[in-house]
Amino acid sequence: MSSKVVPYYQKRHKHYDHSYRNLQSRYVVQEYSTQKRSSSASTQRVSSISSGSRVKCVCGADRDVQEYYVPAFKKRSQEQRLEQRAERHAEQRSEQQVEQRSQQQHRSYDRSVHYATELAFLEEDIRIARALAREQIDKVSIQRMVEEKLALQRQIHEECVSRAPDILVRLRSHTVWEGMPVKLFFTVQGYPTPLVQWYKNETLISPASEPGKYRIESKYGVNSLEIYRTNTNDTATYTAVARNVHGQSSTNAAVIVKRYRSEDEPLHPGYMPHLPLTAAISFTHIDVKFLETFGVTFGVEGETVTLSCSVLLTPDISRLRPQAEWYRDDVLIKESKWHQLHFGEGRATLTFTHMNKDDEGLYTVRMVTRGGVNQHSGFLFVADAAALVAGAPGAPMDVECHDANKDYVIVTWKPPNTASEAPVIGYFVDKCEVGTENWIQCNDSPVKICKYPVTGLFEGRSYIFRVRAVNKAGISRPSRVSFAVAALDPADLSRLQTIHLEGGRDIVIYQDDLEGEVKIPGAPTNVQAHETSKTYVVLSWDPPVPRGRDPLVYYIEKTMVGSGSWQRVNSEIPVRSPRYAVFDLVEGKSYNFRVIAVNKHGVSEPSEVTPPIQAQERLAVPSAPGRILASRNTRTSVVVQFDRAKVEEELIGYYIDSSVVGSNHWDHCNHKPIKYNRFVVHGLTPGEQYIFRVKAVNAVGVSENSQESEAITVKAALTTPSHPYGITLLNCDGQSMTLGWKVPKYTGGANISGYYIDKREADHLNWHEVNSKQIQERIYTVENLEEGAYYEYRIAASNLAGLGLPSDPSEHFKCEAWTFPEPGPAYDLTFCEVRNSSLVILWKEPVYSGNSPVVGYFVDYKEFEGEQWTRVNETATSNRYLKVKELEEGKTYVFQIRAVNAAGIGKPSDISEPVLVQARPGVQEITTGVDEEGNIYLAYNCTEISEASQFTWCKAYEEINDDQKFKAETIGENSKLYFKNPDKDDLGTYSVAVSDTDGISSSYVLDAEELERLMALSHEIRNPTIPLKSELAYEILEKGRVRFWLEAQNLSSESSFRFVVNDLEIKDSESHRIKFDRAAGIIEMVMDKFTVENEGTYTVQIQDGKAKNQSSLVLIGDAFKALLAEAEFQRKEYIRKQGPHFLEYLYWEVTEECEVLLVCKVANTKKETVFKWYKEEVPVDALDVPDLQQGVCIFRIPKLTKKDQGEYKATLKDDRGQDVSILELSGKIYEDIVLGMSKVSGSSASELKIICTPEGIRFHCYMKYFSEEMKVSWYQRESKVSSSEKMRIGGTDEFAWLQICEPTEKDKGKYTFEIFDAKTSYKRTVDLSGQAFDEAFAEFQRLKAAAFAEKNRGKVIGGLPDVVTIMEGKTLSLTCTVFGNPDPEVTWLKNDRDLELSDHFSTTMESGKYASLTIKEVSSEDSGKYGINVKNKYGGETVDVTVSVYKYGEEVPEVKPGQLPKTAPAPAPAKTPAPAPAPAPEKAKPAPKAGKSARK
């Protein structure tokens, strides 16, 4: 496989899509193709006219292109001249013949001649158009040729000058006198321009560190370092390092500065004192300091991740900002659609817009300044995205294109890691033309190696590629697409030649113009196997020389060695580029190949036959890596080192897998192959044990797995311990000193093996060793001291890793005897259980107790930067620990201890180290529990332990050493303290501290209640019972059957049970169905018939090995009766539902129209089913017809009143049975309905209306329905109004009212009407004041006056009938009662006229109120309408009465009030049918009773 990078012309090629192929361009190309194929004489003439070479003159590299034509550098051959002469002679002869024929034709053919002439002109126009199209195409070709030539020149220039730094002139050593300047020079060349850094004794020289001391320059490859005013400290070895992307080089020299013996230092001849530099020049160096950096980062394919770091620039000058460069595995990263770079506002970021495994690697950000380079690195891991198919492999990566030609390119990639997935069996390569989204699979069957030759490309088009891996589970996600590559022939560029002219002008021409007229190409040369594989061979060759100007295609022929017959490989598809992949070769067989070049003029001779070529893999699967070693690194990482594979030729890299011991599941450590044999595996779980394995990868495949490493626990690596601290003088007798100190905060991952003490006297420089052997304890007496002298000490701790750094020197301690009576200082102050508002402080008893024993201690504290000490305990505590509470979270405190004896308060201890009062995140607390054997324990878990960490259990903060009562057990991160025989003596405070963890600790108060709970739980475990999810219970099933059941937990297949009822075991039978589901733990018994004989106690006994349990249920008395009744009810319900029945019994609803609905739902009905409604056992008809099909029946009560109370019943009946539903609409139900109606009415109530009546002023509130049973209230000015003579309350169906009788000014104000439902009140208000009151009061006065007049006017108040029927000859007396105040006047009328009184008509008036009219001996003339008119000053009225007189023997006529009997009509003519005979006369009938009078 070619390892050549992408050619320059590919990098600079503009990858266009189909959009540039417009219709006009296609037309020009078609015209050009037609012209090429044409062999007519006119076309040849056009060719001869435009046969000169057309090139462009390029004036300089960056100047505009000036177009002019240069004649072709070639001559016509003798053969061509003869052909042209023959063609001209044939044309002349043809023209003469045409002219003779035209002269012989008749004039009638003039029209045809005219048309022929026009056709000739048209043909000439077409010929000219074709010539112009050819010229245009030539211009485009020349322009493209010039651009490609310029690109090639730039490529050649860069490839020529790009190289690593090369030092031409090296540094030279100098010896100078002190105070003189010295300047170091060296010359370096390289491209890109190398970056130079200067070092002094391997320390980077920074001009900003000593302004005015150094001056660094770099001009035209000459670099210099000038040192002003040298002194003896400048004597050193100076090194200059030049580096660029291709490498680095260095040179060094020694500078020796000598000093004059005399104090006077004369200036060197020619030396000028150095003047101070300006500020702008002094601070050209920028000091870069990283503040926030990125660490090891984990991502997943497809995510967006940003690596970021903030920097501090000193000085921060906008014009002199450093350059931020990002590298992945030391390769510079450039801005692309995958990577976005940003540097500004003191932060450099690299954003991955869509991560792929291609992005995995070690990322370094380098801040490049004039003074040097500052950098920070971190590894980025990119895991595979979730597979599209479970078990499918990850996506391949790093897809690249090589050896691109006109129709051919080799695609390579890196294989994915398969740790737990099935191995990859092959790959699919997809291609896509730039500008489209149409992906085409290139290979039909998976290719097994990581490279594939893609053929069938179209010249000039650009393509991108992607790869997918395949295993037995499925196909992976596609890889990241490759960079675009153009299908171009690089050999075309080599055929360009440049002619240099005066004035800096160049002429670019093709090699074809110098070859002469070549028709049949020569044979290709240098045919060889470029790539070999088991399935294909890639052939390459050089184009023929000369090749001619016409396009070439190639045909490849093969023959098996020894066969003697040649077979054409690509007979159907010619090859346009000098590369071709031959497939379908027999593995292990040898072949010969040859190539033939073809153009339009003919076929070349075959090329030379290649030597035998065999289709076989050039590479083999790599061998497995050697010995693998894992070592500890940090709490979450491990360093894996391994021996490289024996053969590393073209090795892509290595994959590392990890597995938790015992899991048998392997995970990827790296997702992209690494090329080094040492790798840090991150992201591991602290405390877990892992094993590792490695495999090598090349293009052919993946090697076997290496041997697994030894198991390693993920912990921090062993280091030397930190230094001890808190050195305290505990006692002194004048000859010796007793010292104490605190254990190092970090033990380095191993136990402290001992301590070493050094001492020195004050003002001495040298330290002297106190002990040659390690000291185990943290208290030691230093002997043989000089009394009165001052000493200081330092202490170092050691462990398995070695001796740690010594502590800072202690204070100066004076060696004088202590004789004071008070106790000495307490020491070894430590803290534990630091929480957000409290901590526990512990200390040790003073070594010097004074004249009497120590009886107690005082604890003082203050804020770290404060001055006021605060005493924690008012009385001395005898314990050597104390819990300090009520501290402020987030503040830092210091503490000191004072011991007390009989003589008083002693010397304070050394002030403790500052303590931040804040709970450490993630710290756990002590928990209690009981294990499987019933042992009670306290447990603590710490995830931050090291190998040297130890758990120390204490009671009352004293270490527990009683093995008779306690047992401590620690496994990994967990530690437990077991109680062997727990009792009340074990109550108290227990604590645990974890060493080498920066003070992680916790405590727990074990009280009597908790101990009792734990002991009860321990008893249960040691005496096991089968746990029950539910006790024995019962439920009533359909048909009144009763089910008894219980549910137990964790029953085995060997468990058994007994069902006992009233001391008798029940077995499975027809009447008692018993089931036992061991998997679910359910035991049940179903009784079909439950009767009075089943009263008693029911018990289930379970046994499972040693564990037992039982559950009982007592069904006696009321409990049994309730169960029996319910069972009987369910049985009846089952029977009831066999026929028509009520699915829902009667219930009530209130509609939005305030109607009451009695609703029931029925089921299991048929056409013959009869439904009826009853009220108080009386059948009633409902307004709504029962809908038995829908199963809903409604009885509607439009306006509910008290009359509607009673018992409502609905019945269903057919031949299958009947059912009844009863609703008692009274009492509480009636009240609830009224409340429901109140809700509807209240929500629909209108605003209060003011209505005036003769009695007073009324307020009306209209609503959908109103009933007196509704809860309503009236208010006047927030005072409730009760019904009285003054205020009357009432209502109708449509509204409620309040009437104010005889209103006065006191009745003004706001009136409120309130109606209540069960939860809400609805209020309506009106303001009766101001104009509203005045208008209402005026209307009331008017109506009152009208009512008074109506009351006192004249009127008939009774006595007169509406109709009177009387027989002739009788006397008629009409009498009535009249009223009026004052007494009214009475006038009688007949037929609306005043009646003239006579003997026949007479009237009377008695007592002023009884008026009568008497008609003597009535006759038919007296029939008519009579009336009485009664009136006074207030008005009156007229009452009419109709009198009908009939003759004796006639039927009493039926006369309506106000109508007279009509007389019989006159006899009709003879033609008219005779009237029906009159009926026989009837007896006189009495007049009907008097009704209401009509008043006027």
Residue 1489, SS3 per DSSP? coil
Is the model more confident about 506 or about 951?
951
| Claim: this prediction has a pTM higher than 0.85 | no
Asked if 819 and 796 touch (Cβ cutoff 8 Å), the reply is no
Q: What is the pLDDT of residue 1494?
A: 33
CA angle 679, 680, 684 (to 5 degrees): 135
Q: What is the pLDDT of residue 296?
A: 92
Mean pLDDT over each residue of the chain, to the nearest integer? 82
Q: Report the run of H or E that residue 1232 belongs to, with start and end.
A: helix 1228-1244
Q: How many CB atoms lie within 10 A of CB 814?
A: 14
Q: What is the pLDDT of residue 516?
A: 59
Q: Average the pLDDT over each of 72-81, 522-531, 1267-1276 and give the range with the smallest value.
A: 72-81
Asked if 1068 and 1074 touch (Cβ cutoff 8 Å), the reply is yes
Write the burial class of residue 68 (CB in 10 Å: 0-12 exposed, 13-18 middle, 19+ buried).
exposed
Q: What is the pLDDT of residue 496?
A: 64
Query: What is the C-alpha separation between 61 and 47, in angstroms, rounded?
Result: 33
1452 has pLDDT over 60: yes
- The first and second tokens of residue 667, run together, are 């995970």
Q: What is the pLDDT of residue 101?
A: 60
Q: What is the pLDDT of residue 892?
A: 93
Q: Average the pLDDT over each of 87-96, 642-651, 1320-1329, 1401-1410 and give the range with the smallest value.
A: 87-96
> Which pairs with CB-CB distance under 8 Å and at least 24 residues apart come from 215-220?
216/370
Kind of pairing between the strands at 214-219 and 222-227: antiparallel
Residue 144, SS3 per DSSP? helix
Q: What is the pLDDT of residue 490?
A: 73
- The first and second tokens of residue 231, run together, are 């002194």
Q: What is the pLDDT of residue 720?
A: 86
Q: What is the pLDDT of residue 872?
A: 92
1114 has pLDDT over 70: yes
Q: What is the DSSP letter of 885?
A: -
For the ranges 742-746, 798-802, 975-979, 1492-1496, the maximum mean pLDDT occurs at 975-979
List pLDDT tens digits, range 1278-1309. Answer: 888 888 888 989 998 889 999 999 898 888 89
Q: What length is written for the chain?
A: 1496
Q: For residue 660, give Cα distances in angstroms to 629, 684, 686, 687, 713.
A: 16, 10, 12, 11, 10
Q: Average the pLDDT over each of 207-216, 631-640, 1063-1072 and give the range with the smallest value.
A: 207-216
Q: What is the DSSP letter of 1433?
A: T
List pLDDT tens digits, range 1401-1451. Answer: 899 888 888 899 899 989 888 889 999 999 988 889 999 999 998 888 777
Q: For residue 1211, give Cα distances in angstroms to 425, 620, 795, 825, 1166.
A: 80, 95, 105, 101, 14
998 has pLDDT over 90: no
Residues 835-861, mean pLDDT to the nearest whole number? 92
Asked if 1087 and 1071 touch (Cβ cutoff 8 Å), the reply is yes
78 has pLDDT over 80: no
Kind of pairing between the strands at 1295-1301 and 1287-1291: antiparallel
Residue 1398, SS3 per DSSP? coil
Query: What is the C-alpha separation between 319 and 132, in angstroms, rounded?
Result: 57
Closest CA to 1483 of 1386, 1365, 1325: 1365
Q: What is the pLDDT of residue 156?
A: 67
Q: How many CB atoms lie within 10 A of CB 843?
A: 22
510 has pLDDT over 70: no
* DSSP secondary structure of 1002-1066: EEEEE-HHHHHHHHHHHHHHHS-B--EEEEEEEEE-GGG-EEEEEEESS--TT-EEEEEETTEE-
CA 1001 remoteness from chain centre: 38
List pLDDT tens digits, range 1388-1400. Answer: 998 888 888 888 8
Q: What is the pLDDT of residue 55?
A: 37
Amino acid at 1250: I
Q: What is the pLDDT of residue 901?
A: 93
1320 has pLDDT over 80: yes
Helices 41-49 and 78-104: crossing angle in degrees, nearest 10, is 130
List pLDDT tens digits, range 105-116. Answer: 555 556 676 777
Q: What is the pLDDT of residue 727?
A: 92
Q: What is the pLDDT of residue 316?
A: 72
346 has pLDDT over 70: yes
- The first and second tokens of residue 752, run together, are 């402290």
List pLDDT tens digits, range 821-839. Answer: 999 999 989 888 888 899 9
Residue whose entry in the numeric block shows the structure tokens 């499975």? 1068
Residues 190-217, mean pLDDT to the nearest whole number? 84
Q: Report the run of H or E that residue 430 belongs to, with start and end.
A: strand 426-433
Composition of the chain by helix, strand, coil, percent to 5:
15, 40, 45
Asked if 523 and 578 touch (Cβ cutoff 8 Å), the reply is no
Q: For residue 71, give Cα distances in angstroms to 75, 144, 493, 513.
A: 11, 20, 22, 10
List pLDDT tens digits, range 395-438. Answer: 999 999 988 888 889 999 999 998 888 999 999 999 999 888 89
Q: What is the pLDDT of residue 81?
A: 54
Q: Name the pLDDT band for 1221 (thresholds 50, 70, 90).
A: very high
Asked if 416 and 499 touch (Cβ cutoff 8 Å), the reply is no
Residue whose entry in the numeric block shows the structure tokens 């009321």? 1118
Asked if 847 and 730 touch (Cβ cutoff 8 Å), the reply is yes
Q: What is the pLDDT of residue 1063?
A: 87
Q: Name the pLDDT band for 84 (thresholds 50, 70, 90).
A: low
Residues 1168-1191, mean pLDDT to the nearest whole number? 90
Residues facing residue 369 across a β-bridge: 372
Q: What is the pLDDT of residue 22?
A: 43
HSE of 946 in the Cβ direction (CA atoms, 13 Å)?
23
Is the model more confident about 1174 or about 163?
1174
Query: What is the C-alpha separation between 209 and 197, in angstroms, rounded?
Result: 15
Q: What is the pLDDT of residue 529?
A: 86
Query: What is the C-alpha separation between 1487 and 883, in angstroms, rounded?
Result: 118
Residues 457-470, mean pLDDT to the nearest whole number? 90
24 has pLDDT over 60: no
Residues facing residue 200 across a β-bridge: 203, 238
Q: What is the pLDDT of residue 1407?
A: 82
1490 has pLDDT over 60: no
E runs forming strands in 889-965? 892-901, 904-908, 915-916, 927-930, 936-941, 951-955, 958-959
Residues 385-402, mean pLDDT to the nearest whole number? 92
Asked if 424 and 415 touch (Cβ cutoff 8 Å), the reply is yes
* DSSP secondary structure of 152-221: HHHHHHHHHH-EEEEEEE----EEEETT--EEEEEEEEEESPPEEEEEETTEE--TTTSTTTEEEEEETT
Residue whose entry in the numeric block shows the structure tokens 């052997």? 773
- The first and second tokens of residue 468, run together, are 């997918």
Residues 794-818, mean pLDDT to the nearest whole number? 91
Asked if 907 and 989 touch (Cβ cutoff 8 Å), the reply is no
Helices 23-37 and 110-161: crossing angle in degrees, nearest 10, is 110
Amino acid at 405: N
642 has pLDDT over 80: yes
908 has pLDDT over 60: yes
* DSSP secondary structure of 320-388: GPPEEEEEETTEE----SSEEEEEETTEEEEEESS--GGG-EEEEEEEEETTEEEEEEEEEEEEPPPPS
118 contacts: CB under 8 Å, gap ≥ 6: none
Q: What is the pLDDT of residue 82?
A: 54
1178 contacts: CB under 8 Å, gap ≥ 6: none
